Every structure is written in C-alpha cells, then in structure tokens.
C-alpha cells in the first residue's frame, strides 16, 4: 500500500512495481479499436516509453505493446498505484501550496472506485471521460503538484504535464486543455487514433478538469428536468403516479434512479450491465431490480395504481422495454408511461456507449472488438427500433426529450424517423431538454454551481448547506421576480432533499442550480465562515461545464440559440480565458463532452476559498463574469429573458456595459429587401 508521500515522489522505477495487469472485480473499459497502422503502433509505443529512462524500456516495451494490441490503448497497468484512491482531507497532501493540495483532492476523487466508471482505465464517467491517458501521467502530475509554489503554473496538454512555468501569485495554478485538435481533423475516427498514440484525450466535461462530484452532480439537474417536464408537458406539480422511463445506470446516468425518488414519481431505468445496476442498488440509489420484463411491467402497473414512489432497475435492453410498452398499449389500450428520455452514452455509440438490442452484453463487447463494422450496423438498427417504439407512444399522451447525450443525433445518422418538418439544423421531432425544459433557466443565469469541502468532514458540508439555504431564503425575502423565486424555492427543496437522501458519493460535495447573485452571495458566505473557523478547511467552488457560459454545444447547451451562432465556440473559449485572469485557481478547456468528440467546446474552473479577503474578491469578480458572459451572448442572440436579466445586472453593476440587440420592427422588411 502506497502512502500519499510516495504518490508524490514521482514514477516508481527502482524497483519497478509488480505488473498485476487488469484487476478482477472492478468494471473495465471496452476494448478500443483504433485501427493503427504498423508505423502508428510504433509511434504509440515510442510515445509511451518517453516517460521512462532507457534502463527500464526493454522490460516495459513488450508489456505496453501487449496492452495496445489487447485493449487498443496503453494504460500502463503496472503503474496503477496501490493506495486507497479517494479524496483525502486536504491537510494530508504533501504540498507547498494549499491550491495544489485542493487539486490533488479533486483528482483522487475522480479516480475513486466508488465514483469512477472504469477506475483502472482512468475513466470517470461517460464511457470514455478520461482523467489522464495513462498512469505515468497521474504520477507525474502528483509530483509536480507537490513541488509547485505560488509563483508557478502547471500546464497540462490532454493529460500530459508539460511542466511548471513561472507565473504570478494571482495567476491560475493550473491550466488544462483537452482534445484541442485542429478542426478539420477533429473526427471520431481521427480521435481514436490520436488517443491510441497518446497525444490527445477526451476529458468529457468534468473528468478531465477534475471537477466531477459523483452522480450527485446530475441528480440535481435530472430532478429539475423532470419537475419542469411535469409542469410543461403534463401540467402538474405533483408527479405521484406518473411514470418516467429511461436507460443507463453507469456513470452520470446512475443519477436517474435517485432523481425519480426525490421528485416522487415512478422511475423505470433499463441497464444492460448488471455490475452497474447492482452498484446503484447497493448504494441505495435504486430501490428495486428485476431481470424479468413481465415482472417489470407488473410492478410498474402496481406502483402506478398505488401512486408509489419507486425507482425500478430493469436488467435488460431499453429497446425491449420500449417495445413492450408499445405492445401493452396496442393490446390493452393502456399507456403505461408519461415521460421518457435516454441517458446511454450515445456520444460514443460504437465503443460501449450504446448496446444493441440484438445482442447480450458479453456478446456485444466481443463483437465490438472483433468486428466493429458489423457492430455499428447493429447499433444503428437498434436505434431505429428504439425510435420507432418511442414514436408510437408519442402519438398518445406521452412526452419524450433528448437528454443531451446525442441520442437523437445518432438516431438521425442511423436513419431513424426523428426529422421535424421545417426545423432548424439543431432541432428534431423531440426537443432537447435545453430547448424546452432548461433553456429558460440558462437564460436567467441559473446553472449547476457546486462546491467541495476539502476537509472531507460531513459536518462542513452540513454547514455549507445551511449557509446556502439561508442565502436563498434571504434573497426571496428581499424580493425577486416570480420566475427566479420558483428556481430558488426548487433549490431550497433540493438542499433539504439532498441531505435526507444521502447523495454524497466520494468527496463532501454539493451541487445547486444558482444564478449570478446566488453564486456570489453563497461564495462570500462560505469564505467568511472559513475565516471564522465555522468551516475547518478550504472550499473549492466549481460548476459543471454544462452551464450558462461554459459550453458551446449546438445539440445541447446552445440548441436554443437561433441567430445562426449555435455552431460557434467564442463563448466557451472567452469564458475559459476570462475565468483565468479573474481569479480562478485552475481552468480547463475541452473538445467534446456530453454529445461527443468534435460536437462541442466546453470549459470549467476550480476556485479555492480559503477565508482570505483576496479569495472573496476573486470569487466576486470571477463568478460574475462566469455567468454574465453567457447571459449576454444569449441576449444578443435574441432571447428575451436573457435581455431582461442582463439589463437588470447592468443596472446593479455600473462597470458592466453590454451591447444590446435591436429587434427588426417589421419582418416584412426582410422579404421586401431580399425579394426578386
């Protein structure tokens, strides 16, 4: 068993650790099929060996070559550390700066087996969301962080530590870029090769920026989505007896079961991987499980009749479940589902993100590696069948939305009937949850703000929960508009439910959808509590990249941008740069995330509060920019709610001056000017 001190001492070379290969009893990433040429295989091996001195290369070369040919990537399993991987209290890390220790705390949380989807392959969530590309990169970064001073910045290129560079105390301590590939070469096929040869990495959103907080992060978003879907589609506040059907219990999708319980509906979630399903059941996130479709339908009917709160995991393929629901409708006339979505990792459909209904789980994994072309054909056929069943149910009083996982995009590419007549390029027959459900929230500046108590003490988290609740209650008492009040009330309910439902997995963290005012006020309250000793150690502020300003993603976060700029990435890049010089402790910019490689540019940050006045000033400056940037962009695109919010923000902050759009007063002018 290694110690934290040993973990920060650089790669263990003399002696080399024993190569224990892939561990039994933990889930592993699917075999990758990058299709490297012999010359590219040599390049991959050369790139891996450059982390090691010549005297060990002869031993490691055949070992790494075998990994490349067996698994499609060199993970360097020999160097997977023998330590309990978890978020240790910040004071235990051997560092020269607290900021470096806070970053270590976050990295080790992302690799905690209770949190990570495939911990030995350094995948946190989403099937391929890497923290690092290989274990040498992990050891190297931990060593650099332990050495780093307040006058250095660590630069990361897609998992690789380029080095420590002189900088100022006010600069970020860490700057991360993941997957920054030249646009013409940013295809999925090119990515597989570039990742295999070890020169780029898919960091998802918060995997490669070290800001993932376990499935709790998406529980809150799913709670808000399902609540607002009930309001919008069903016209109800109370979801008792309503049925929500979806799929996926692996990484982030594991949140769906807990969200169903919190909102009080009946959630039926299909999952093909029994290990993932049982993990959620053992964690208490999934109330019941069955591998019988008959029993699943029987239990659904019973819960619906009794208006029970239920999260039911079906061990099987979701296509079978959708087709059975169609069968029940056609034979009995009974519609057994009210709301539906999908959270398979469809951004990565041909490498383990989506399993075709025609094959069992093990068969699919085998075919995926041995015959990728046939596997792809089966996936696309399965997508067509799934959409066909959903389309039949949607003719009744059933509502489906895309959860931003590229499900409808991949279904369209597979030839499924998802077209919407007269639609814009980013629209399908069914809406993205951003377009119809969450879009107004982003336009008002609300998004997934989060924090981590680096002491690791649950009592510190309880204090932050109390402080955040008080801030929101005071804001309501001071008077806010009805739309903002509704979000604040939902958030207060969330904090109370989160504590009751024991949502912490990994680090002592909380997520809260908040607007600019709320984020700043909460940050100030936390910082003062640290200064007063009410919170025992620094608190790291962060957010999901899936936020107001952090992500340009035409099929998700910016799918409701209609001025033609949905495919432009200025907002996310500007956000990354602006956060860096306004006080962020670290910043990250990624290609890919959510809907997949080449489909999105997104960025995030970490900001450490340590109780100092300097930390408070950084929080006020950086958090204000981090929200206003996106609201201003949405305003310029023509969004009325964003227009109102940014105008209000300008009135409250005289230093903020935003260009406002003028509407075309008479639409006939356009036709007249362009007419024949």
Architecture of domain 442-552+610-652: 3-Layer(aba) Sandwich (3.40)
Contact 32, 71 (CB under 8 A): yes
Region 325-349 average pLDDT: 93
Alpha carbons 531 and 616: distance in angstroms, whole number: 11
Close Cβ partners of 95 (under 8 Å, ≥ 6 residues apart):
8, 101, 104, 145, 146, 148
Report residue 450: phi and psi, to 5°. -150, 160
> What pLDDT score does 343 carry?
87
Q: Specify the pLDDT at position 83.
A: 94
Distance CA 322, CA 381 (A): 15
Is it the case that residue 1 has pLDDT exceeding 60?
no
Per-residue pLDDT tens digits for 14-45: 999 999 999 998 899 999 999 999 999 999 99
Q: How far apart are CA 612 and CA 616, in angstroms?
A: 7
- Show me where the domains of the chain are located: 4-114+132-196, 216-431, 442-552+610-652
pLDDT one-digit tens code per residue, 588-625: 999 988 778 898 999 999 999 999 999 999 999 999 99
Residue 555's pLDDT band (cuts 50, 70, 90): confident
Residue bearing tokens 């490297």: 36
Compute the average pLDDT of residues 386-399: 95
- Residue 469 pLDDT level (bands cut at 50, 70, 90): very high
Between 147 and 221, the higher pLDDT residue: 147
Top-confidence residue, 554 or 107? 107
pLDDT value, residue 356? 95
> Element (H or E) spanning 508, and its range?
strand 508-514
- In whole angstroms, what is the distance from residue 425 CA to residue 409 CA? 11
Q: Please work out, in degrees rounded to the nearest 5, the angle formed at the alpha carbon of residue 209 by the alpha carbons of 191 and 128.
A: 40
Collapsing DSSP to helix, strand or coil, 448 comes out as strand
Extract the runs of DSSP E, i.e. beta strands, from 570-669: 586-591, 601-609
Instruction: Give the pLDDT confidence score for residue 254 in this predicted structure.
Output: 67
Contacts 24+ apart (CB under 8 A), 187-190: 187/597, 187/598, 188/596, 188/597, 188/598, 189/35
Specify the pLDDT at position 439.
59
pLDDT band at 178 (very low <50, low <70, confident <90, very high): very high
Q: Which residues contact 301 (CB under 8 A, 6 or more apart)?
A: 336
Q: What is the pLDDT of residue 61?
A: 98
Residue with tokens 């340009």: 552
Q: Which fold has domain 216-431?
A: Rossmann fold (3.40.50)
pLDDT given for residue 347 in this prediction: 81
571, pLDDT greater than 60? yes
- Say what the pLDDT of residue 504 is: 87
Tens digits of residue pLDDT in 622-663: 999 999 999 999 999 999 999 999 999 999 999 999 999 999
Percent of the chain past pLDDT 70, that is, above it, reads 99
Structure tokens at 300: 């659904």
Q: Which span out of 103-107, 345-349, 359-363 was modeled with the highest average pLDDT? A: 103-107
Residue 464's pLDDT is: 97
Distance, CA of 404 to CA of 617 (rounded, Å): 35
Over 90: is that where the pLDDT of 405 sits?
Answer: no
**Mean pLDDT within 502-513:** 90
**pLDDT at residue number 219:** 83
pLDDT at position 252: 62
- For the question of whether the overall pTM of this predicted structure is more than 0.85, the answer is yes
How far apart, in Å, do the first and last CA atoms of the chain sit?
Answer: 78
Asked whether the predicted pLDDT for residue 673 surpasses 70, the reply is yes
Question: Rounded CA gap, 410 and 379, in Å?
Answer: 10
Per DSSP bridges, beta strands 160-166 and 152-157 are: antiparallel
């Amino acid at each position: 068993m290694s110690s934290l001190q040993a973990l920060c001492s650089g790669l263990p070379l003399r002696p080399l650790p024993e190569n224990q290969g892939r561990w039994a009893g933990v889930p592993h990433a699917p075999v990758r099929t990058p299709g490297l040429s012999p010359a590219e295989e040599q390049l991959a091996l050369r790139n891996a060996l450059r982390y090691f001195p010549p005297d060990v290369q002869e031993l490691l070369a055949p070992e790494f070559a075998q990994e490349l040919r067996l698994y499609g990537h060199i993970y360097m399993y020999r160097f997977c550390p023998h330590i309990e991987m978890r978020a240790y209290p910040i004071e235990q890390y051997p560092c020269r700066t607290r900021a470096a220790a806070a970053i270590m705390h976050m990295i080790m949380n992302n690799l905690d087996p209770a949190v990570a989807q495939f911990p030995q392959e350094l995948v946190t969530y989403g099937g391929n969301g890497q923290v690092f590309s290989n274990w040498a990169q992990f050891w190297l970064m931990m060593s650099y962080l332990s050495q780093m001073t307040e006058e250095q910045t660590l630069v990361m290129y897609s998992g690789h530590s380029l080095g420590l560079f002189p900088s100022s105390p006010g600069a970020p301590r860490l700057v991360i870029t993941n997957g920054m590939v030249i646009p013409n070469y940013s295809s999925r096929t090119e990515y597989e090769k570039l990742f295999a040869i070890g020169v780029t990495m898919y960091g998802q959103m918060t995997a490669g920026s070290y800001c993932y907080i376990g499935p709790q992060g998406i529980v809150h978003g799913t709670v808000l989505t399902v609540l607002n879907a009930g309001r919008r589609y069903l016209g109800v506040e109370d979801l008792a007896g309503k049925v929500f059907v979806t799929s996926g219990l692996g990484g982030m999708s594991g949140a769906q079961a807990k969200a169903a319980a919190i909102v009080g509906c009946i959630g039926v979630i299909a999952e093909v991987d029994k290990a993932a399903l049982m993990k959620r059941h053992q964690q208490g996130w999934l109330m019941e499980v069955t591998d019988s479709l008959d029993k699943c339908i029987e239990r659904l009917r019973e819960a619906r009749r009794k208006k029970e709160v239920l999260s039911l995991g079906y061990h099987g393929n979701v296509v079978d479940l959708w087709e059975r629901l169609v069968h029940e409708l056609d034979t009995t006339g009974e519609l057994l589902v009210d709301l539906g979505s999908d959270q398979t990792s469809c951004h990565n459909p041909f490498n383990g993100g989506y399993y075709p209904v025609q094959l069992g789980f093990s068969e699919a994994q085998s075919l995926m590696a041995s015959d990728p072309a046939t596997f792809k054909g089966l996936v696309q056929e399965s997508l067509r069948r799934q959409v066909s069943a959903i389309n039949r149910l949607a003719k009744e009083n059933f509502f489906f939305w895309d959860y931003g996982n590229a499900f409808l995009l991949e279904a369209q590419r597979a030839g499924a009937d998802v077209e919407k007549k007269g639609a814009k390029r980013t629209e399908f027959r069914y809406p993205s949850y951003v377009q119809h459900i969450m879009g107004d929230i982003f336009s008002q500046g609300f998004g997934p703000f989060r924090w981590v108590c680096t002491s690791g003490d649950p009592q510190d988290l309880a204090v932050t929960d109390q402080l955040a609740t008080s801030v929101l209650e005071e804001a309501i008492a001071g008077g806010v508009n009805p739309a903002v009040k509704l979000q604040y009330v939902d958030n207060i309910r969330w904090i109370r439910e989160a504590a009751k439902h024991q949502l912490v997995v990994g680090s002592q963290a909380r997520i809260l959808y908040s607007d600019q005012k709320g984020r700043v006020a909460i940050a100030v309250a936390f910082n003062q509590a640290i200064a007063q000793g009410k919170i025992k150690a620094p608190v790291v502020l962060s957010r999901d990249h899936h936020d107001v300003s952090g992500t340009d993603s035409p099929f998700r976060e910016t799918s409701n941008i209609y001025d033609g700029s949905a495919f432009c990435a200025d907002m996310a890049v500007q956000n990354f740069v602006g956060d860096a010089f306004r006080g962020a402790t670290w910043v990250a910019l990624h290609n890919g995330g959510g809907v997949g490689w080449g489909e999105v540019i997104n960025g995030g940050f970490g900001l450490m509060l340590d109780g100092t006045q300097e930390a408070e000033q950084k929080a006020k400056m950086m958090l204000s920019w981090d929200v206003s940037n996106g609201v201003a962009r949405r305003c310029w695109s023509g969004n009325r709610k964003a227009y109102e919010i940014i105008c209000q923000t300008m009135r409250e902050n005289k230093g903020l001056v935003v260009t406002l759009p003028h509407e075309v007063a008479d639409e006939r002018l356009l036709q007249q000017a362009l007419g024949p």
